[in-house]
Each structure stands twice: as C-alpha cells, then as structure tokens.
Amino acid sequence: MQTERLITLTPADWLIVALYFAAIIGIGFYLKRFADRKEDFFEAGRRNGVWVAGLAFVSANLGAIEMLGWSGGTVKYGMLVSHFYWIGAVPAMIFLGLYMMPFYYSTRIHSVPGYLLLRFDERTRLLSAFSFAIMTVLMSGVNLYLMALVFRTILGWNWDVSIWSSAAAVACYITLGGLLSAIFTEVIQFFLIWFGLFLVSILGIMDLGGLGRVFQGLPPEMSRLWADTGHASGNAMGVNWFGLAMGVGFVLSFGFWTTDFLLVQRAFTAKDLRTARLTPILASFFKMFLPFIVVVSGLVAYRLIARGDLPDSILKNPDSTLPYLIARYYPPGLIGLGITALLAGFMAGQAGNVSAFNTVWTFDIYQALRKTKATDAHLVKVGRITTLIGILISVAAAYAAKSFPTIMDFLQAIFSWVNAPLFATMLLGMFWKRTTSPAAFWGLLAGMITSFGIFLGFRLHLWGPGATYALTFSDRPSDMARNLWQAIWAWSMTLLVTLAITMATRPKEERLLIGLVRGLVPTERGAGANGDDAAIGTGKARGIAAVREPWLGRPGFWACMALALVVILNLIFW
C-alpha cells in the first residue's frame, strides 16, 4: 500500500464527491417505496427497456476490478489484456443473448441456480448456489480493497475509513431498494465512468504525442494481440494461441458471461424476451470499446514508467496504475470528477455482487432449505438482512485481500473454480436432452475440485517442472497462464465426467424437459406478439414462440454487427 498523498482535493472536488454519495443514498430511500414486492426487490419489476437493462448489464461489470485491475494488468501483460474484451467477452455475450437467454428468461427463474433445479435436481442447484455465493462475497471484498487502495494512494486516507464508508454507502441503497436501486444507480454510474475516466486515455495519448507514439515505444510482444502467441515464451503472459483461444475465448469467457448471475440478473429485469436477448448484445458494443480506456491507460503508464515520468514502484503494485495517471493528468476541480468516476466503478461492482448474493442466498439456499413457501414480505426481509450480512463478509474479505499479490490473477483463478466447470454443465444441460441429473452433479463437483486442486498445487509449489509443462505447455507460465489452463482442465473434467455418468444413468422424461432444452420448445401455446411467455407443459417451464420482427429489431442482426467489429479490431491490432 502506498502511504504518500498524491493529490489534495479542492472544495469543488469535495462537493462533487459529496453530491455523488448523497445522490445514491437518496435514490435508495426514494425507491424503497417501490421495492416491497419480491418481484421489485429481486427482479426490478421485470419492466426495463433494452437501454436500461443493457447499460446496467455492462455497468455491473465496470467495477473497481475492471478499471484498476486491467489497467494494471496491461502494465504487466500489454495488449494481450484486450483479449479479455474482444474474444473473452463479446462472443460469449452474443451467445448468451441468442441461445441461452430464452431458457433463462422464459422459465421465470430468479437466478441461474434456479435453472439447474428445473433441468436437473436440488443438489446441483445447491452446489452451484453455495459456490456462487462464496465467489460474489470474495469479489465484493476485492472491490472494497481496491477502493481503499485508491483512497490511500491518492488522498492518503485511513484504510479503515475507506473500507467502512464505502461499505456503508452500498449497504444503504441496496438494503432499501434492492435490485431496483442497483439498476437505477448503475445506469448513472455508467455515464460517470465513461465521462470521468476516458479523459485519462486522451490526455495520456496527447502527452506522448499521439496513439502511434504510444505503440512505437513498446516492446513488440507488448503491442500485439496474436503475432507473438505461436509459442508460450514469445509473449509477456506466457501462453500460446491455443491457451488464449480456448482459455480466454471459450472456457473462461463463456463460463463467466453465460453463468455469472451477477450479470445475467440484469437481463432478467427486461420487460420481454426480445429485450432480454438484446440486453447482453447491446452491452457487447460498449464492452468492446472499453480497452480504449483501460488498456490504453495501461500502455500510457508503461511508457511513462519507461521514461521516468512515473515511479517504477507501480511495476510491483500494478493495481495503482490508474490512480497515478489521474493524479498526473487531472487539474484541481476536475479531479473530483475522476474520483467520483472511480467511486462509481467501485459502487457498481459492489452493488452488483451484493444484489446477486442476496437473490441467490434467499431463493436458492434459504428458501430451498426452509422447505416451506414464504410470503413476499418475508422474502424481502430475508433479502435485506442477507444484504447486510453480505456487506459484513465483504469487509472481512477486503482485509484478507491485502495479502493478494495480483488482484486480476486471483479473480481469474476464482472464475476457473466456479464458472468454468459450471459452463460445461449448463452447455450439456441446455443442448443435450440425454444429460442426467446425477451426471450433472458429479461432473460439476469433479470440475470444481480439479480446478481448485491445480490452483493449490501451484500455490504450494507441489508441481515440478514436468507437471507444470504438462498442465500449461510452458516451462515458466505466468499466473494468468496458469489460470487459463486451470479453467480448461476444469471444463474438460466436468465435460468428461458428465458424459461418462450420463451414459450409465437414466435421463428424465422429455415431457419434464419442455422449455429447458434446445429442440424441446412447444408451439401450441407460445408467446404473444409482445414477447410475453405462456405457461406450458408441466407448469415448470414456459414456451417461446417465433415472432416476426423488423430486421433492425432482431437480436441476430446486432449480434452479426458486434462480431464483425470484433474481427476488425483483432485484425487491426494483430
């Protein structure tokens, strides 16, 4: 942790920060009157349009982890970080919108584990719910840790004050208004983040004499996406093209974007199925341009460090990259906007994790174990209590996070424990009707154990040179390379175990899978012209009927546009 104060805020800066805190807490109090029903507290009423849901979707991912973690990651890995946006986000977001959202939205579930209950059984749901709950509070704690790092680095604030003040603010507006508050403030935070931090990249480019000069001063392996991935030793991340394509482009990205309820929950708030499908696709356009803030900032910092304009201590603590750039470029008065933008990022990530945690805990753990039906008022009360408990656990995780050497490396490890194996389970469940319930549970458990076992082996230095090469195809893999291969092995183990047990067990009857598996969608009582769902089959699922739409309103059209832009970006920076 840095102890010096880089900036002294002026009264105008303090006014901007104070107005932000007052606004988000005031929003919580105002929306409390509209969040007494469980549909409002946990699902924001399911009445949002595509722009509100889409901006909330991308804003929920724009937390401190995203802004600070990847700007610092760029100092360490260079342009390769852009893979986590262009092949590691956009294709998976499109797949979610086109193929998986119809199953999620039309079954009227409250969470992703709720789908596992309908498709498989209770124990698979509980395994997924517990693992997801642990993941969200860990990520929430990391958000608080990074907020404290920023305040201590820029302002010299006390560590405890930074942690508890931010936790208290989030607790107020999420406890009062639930997901409704989170969605509303995330839309505001989206614009604050873009307007408050995009200027860092612009000023950095101007300082270095243009974007071309930024790239000219970089080592070749730091300035290209694919050209140096023929062998793991040819790039800063220590991973070859297959590890990137399979680890980032498929297993981790699809596992994160299609199964992480923190994000999928935002699409659940859409007013109809078409809007729910368009939500992640619209968000993908904003996601693909985020490297122009995050990655460019990291490259600027790398160049400034090389020429002695920023301290080389940043190389030991890359997570402090963005605060140092704000301190360098923002004049008095404007610094308040930059600090507020960072606050918005922290709050967005924190609120997203906490609101997802209280929903999964209330519906998929508390209600499942309670075994009796609860009233709306009771569930909302449990959700509010759970929010406060989640905040307190997050504070404890924040103090523990101080010992983590690299935040993004650690978080990718968490995703490989939970999201990577879960994606294999969801993929087989949605697209292969033969997949059985015992196979799903044991396959998911085997994948999680495999991933965590590999992680512990590296952390405890149990793997020798031979085992390291066999697991990563590199003699000296970086932490990120280990995470990518860890995810690949976890996904593969889940897939193989699930396939093997499926062939030895009896599947569910097809009538119980209607609306849950691709190809088993009824049409006799489908959706109306407005995209609403109708009850069908056993009553556990709802059907989806094809609706003719203008081509500009079709999710497929915008999906093709997003993919085309991603291909162009990869070719430009090849």
In DSSP notation, 47-68 reads -B-HHHHHHHHHHTT-SHIIII
pLDDT, one tens digit for every residue, the chain (574 residues): 344 556 677 787 778 878 877 776 676 666 655 555 555 444 545 666 677 777 777 776 776 667 777 788 888 888 888 888 888 888 988 988 888 787 777 766 666 787 888 889 889 988 888 888 888 877 777 777 777 776 776 667 777 777 777 677 667 666 655 555 566 666 677 777 777 777 888 888 888 888 888 888 778 777 888 887 777 777 777 778 888 888 788 887 887 787 776 677 777 777 777 888 888 888 888 888 888 888 888 888 888 888 888 877 777 777 778 878 887 888 877 777 777 777 777 766 676 777 777 777 877 787 777 766 767 677 777 777 887 787 788 788 777 666 655 566 667 777 788 888 988 998 898 889 899 999 999 999 999 999 889 888 887 888 888 888 888 888 777 777 888 888 889 999 999 999 999 999 998 888 888 878 877 765 434 333 333 343 333 334 344 444 456 667 688 888 889 889 989 988 888 8
Q: Are 397 and 137 within 8 A, CB to CB? A: yes
Q: Are 319 and 301 within 8 A, CB to CB? A: no
Q: Which two tokens stand for residue 571?
A: 């070719």
What is the C-alpha to C-alpha distance for residues 136 and 473, in angstroms, rounded to an integer?
Answer: 31
The DSSP code sequence of 387-455 is: HHHHHHHHHHHHHHHTT-S-HHHHHHHHHHHHHHHHHHHHHHHHH-TT--HHHHHHHHHHHHHHHHHHH
User: What is residue 181's predicted lDDT score, i.e. its pLDDT?
Assistant: 57
Q: Which two tokens stand for residue 412?
A: 């990718």
CA angle (437 as vertex; 436, 438 as ends), nearest 5: 95
In one letter, which amino acid is 260? D
User: What is residue 410's predicted lDDT score, i.e. its pLDDT?
Assistant: 67
Q: Which whole-number Å values give the CA distances from 223 to 167, 208, 218, 292, 550, in the listed order?
A: 38, 16, 6, 14, 41
Q: Which whole-number Å values give the CA distances from 284 to 58, 65, 104, in the listed order?
A: 8, 18, 19
What is the C-alpha to C-alpha distance for residues 127 and 49, in angstroms, rounded to an integer?
Answer: 33
The count of other CB atoms within 10 Å of the CB of residue 365 is 18
- Tell me the whole-structure pTM to 2 decimals: 0.73
User: What is residue 525's predicted lDDT score, i.e. its pLDDT?
Assistant: 40
What is the C-alpha to C-alpha distance for residues 384 and 389, in angstroms, rounded to an integer?
Answer: 9
Q: Are 294 and 67 within 8 A, CB to CB? A: yes
Q: Which helix (H) or strand (E) holds 543?
A: strand 541-543
Coil, helix or strand for 308?
coil
Q: Which whole-number Å values give the CA distances from 485 to 235, 242, 395, in the listed order?
A: 16, 10, 31
Report the Cα–Cα distance between both ends of the chain, in Å, rounded: 36
Q: Which two tokens stand for residue 348?
A: 């967005």
Coil, helix or strand for 43?
helix
Q: Are 270 and 433 within 8 A, CB to CB? A: no
Q: Are 247 and 87 within 8 A, CB to CB? A: no
Tokens 């998911």 — which residue? 444
CB burial string 140-178: b at 16+ within 10 A, e below: bbbbbbbbbbbbbbbbebebeebbeebbebbbbbbbbbb
The count of other CB atoms within 10 Å of the CB of residue 135 is 22
What is the C-alpha to C-alpha distance for residues 542 and 531, in angstroms, rounded to an integer?
Answer: 12
Determine the topology of domain 11-407 in CATH: Sodium/glucose cotransporter (1.20.1730)
Coil, helix or strand for 107?
coil
Q: Exposed, middle or buried by CB within 10 Å (0-12, 13-18, 19+), for 185?
A: buried
User: What is residue 155's predicted lDDT score, i.e. its pLDDT?
Assistant: 67
Which residues, including other chains, have CB under 8 Å from residue 273's CB and lie 6 or more apart? 101, 102, 105, 106, 527, 531, 532, 533, 544
Backbone angles phi, psi at 225, to 5 degrees: -90, -50
Coil, helix or strand for 542?
strand
User: What is residue 503's predicted lDDT score, i.e. its pLDDT?
Assistant: 93
Backbone angles phi, psi at 542, to 5 degrees: -130, 150
Q: Which two tokens stand for residue 105?
A: 């939205």
